[in-house]
Chains A and B, each alone.
Chain A
Amino acid sequence: MEMSQTRVDDVPIIAVSGRIDATTSRDLENALNELIEHDNSQIVLDLGGVEYVSSVGLRVMLAALKKVRPKKGDVMLVSLQPFVREVFEITGFTKLFSIYPSQAEALICKRT
């Protein structure tokens, strides 16, 4: 798994590629926690390069969402690939997260 971070309109964007599994999810957890600890409550997570996510990865994302929601924040998911989207659907996670086709659309929705 690889991650890169950028910032657009002061919103942090984490772009992830590869597999989010039992071991690599720790890196994602650390990145999300660091952003949340520095008072970032709106976070875009670009999963366009992610081919696989297991329940450990889902839990990391849900834990982040639970931390930012009380601050009126959100973890916005972007560009889910077919298998990853299906995993989200099967587990009911599509109902929990704001999901957008692209970073641009997530950022527009964040502004409105």
Chain B
Amino acid sequence: VTINREGNCEILVDARREQIPVMLDLIEREMVYAGFDTRKTMEVLLAVEEAATNITNYAYSGPKEGEDGKIRIKARAGRDHMEIIIEDWGVPFDPTARSITIPDDSAEDRPIGGLGIHLIRSYVDSIAYRFIDGKNTLFLTKNL
């Protein structure tokens, strides 16, 4: 973990589900330190967890199967916002490109999954994606 008190920190972890709380703990600490209230902090934690869950479940599959997958997360506190940057080296995937529809159907017919991106979009003020140098990079911003 790298932290400096100019409002920046980052952590690189294995892309495994057990590592998600480590990332969330770091982001929660930074959010509280930056002055975000409990509700907005929870909203950001949810967005980060959903992004990290998608990476642990899908990024290092298919052609990337068996790779020693990693996730890097950075928090950059601005004067009136927090920017979270989530990077992985897995299969290229743009979560901003998909149109999301929540089906209005019965539980029996409803496929399990597909909710994470919808939640990310719901709980951040801006979202952007870039694929550069073999790396998925997701930019999430939450206003104070």
A interface residue numbers (CB < 8 A to B):
21-23, 51-52, 54-56, 58-59, 62-63, 65-66, 69, 83, 87, 90-92, 95-97
Main secondary structure of the interface of B (DSSP, over half): helix
A52 neighbours in B (Cβ, 8 Å): 42, 45-46
- The count of residues in chain B whose C-beta lies closer than 8 Å to any C-beta of chain A is 29
Pairwise interchain contact A56-B107, C-beta atoms closer than 8 A: no
Pairwise interchain contact B49-A91, C-beta atoms closer than 8 A: no
Pairwise interchain contact A54-B50, C-beta atoms closer than 8 A: yes
| Contact of B107 (CB < 8 Å), options: A21, A69, A87, A91 | A69
Pairwise interchain contact A90-B119, C-beta atoms closer than 8 A: yes
0/1 string, B98-118, CB within 8 A of A gives 1: 000011101110101101101
Pairwise interchain contact A21-B119, C-beta atoms closer than 8 A: no
Of chain A, the residue at the smallest CB distance from B113 is: A59
CB distance from B44 to the nearest CB of A (A): 11
B interface residue numbers (CB < 8 A to A):
17-18, 20-21, 24, 39, 42-43, 45-46, 49-50, 52-53, 56, 102-104, 106-108, 110, 112-113, 115-116, 118-119, 122
Pairwise interchain contact B49-A65, C-beta atoms closer than 8 A: no
Pairwise interchain contact B115-A55, C-beta atoms closer than 8 A: yes
Pairwise interchain contact B115-A58, C-beta atoms closer than 8 A: yes
